[in-house]
């Protein structure tokens, strides 16, 4: 697990690069907001989280029975719980939040980029 990068993954870098090509201005991994959103626009108080399918537990209830140990079940459930709390807290503080899942981006690159661009405009 020590080799897994928490920021600037290939998935994130691809999205950052495409958004910059489109002239969209943003900050990455902003420490000033709870949860360190992957993409932030401070003036409009908008945050985008780019969730990887495994680490953020997309469809965890469906496939948790094939995880090799109880450690992974606990870890991924804790990650999902933390994600819900972070998003709720940001929204209570007046932020608009968008979550983009890795499988969504991989299935429809252009649609995902348009969705983020529209959200940030």
Structural domain spans, the chain: 10-120
**Closest of 91, 98, 95 to residue 119, by C-alpha:** 98
pTM for this model (two decimals): 0.85
User: Of the candidates 18, 33, 46, 9, which has an alpha carbon nearest to the alpha carbon of residue 121?
Assistant: 46
Is 10-120 CATH 3.40.960.10?
yes
The average confidence (pLDDT) of the chain is 86
Residue 113 pLDDT: 93
What pLDDT score was predicted for residue 80?
Answer: 86
| Residues of the chain under the 50 pLDDT cut | 1-3
Model pLDDT, residue 67: 66
Residue 32 confidence (pLDDT): 92
């Amino acid at each position: 697990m020590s080799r897994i990068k928490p920021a600037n993954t290939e998935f994130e870098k691809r999205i950052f690069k495409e958004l910059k090509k489109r002239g969209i201005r943003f900050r990455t991994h902003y420490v000033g907001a709870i949860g360190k959103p992957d993409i932030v626009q401070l003036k409009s108080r908008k945050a985008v989280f780019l969730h990887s399918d495994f680490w953020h537990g997309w469809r965890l209830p469906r496939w948790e029975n094939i995880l090799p140990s109880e450690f992974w079940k606990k870890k991924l459930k804790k990650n999902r719980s933390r994600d819900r709390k972070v998003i709720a807290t940001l929204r209570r503080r007046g932020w608009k939040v968008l979550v983009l899942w890795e499988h969504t981006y991989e299935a429809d690159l252009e649609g995902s980029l348009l969705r983020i661009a529209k959200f940030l405009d």
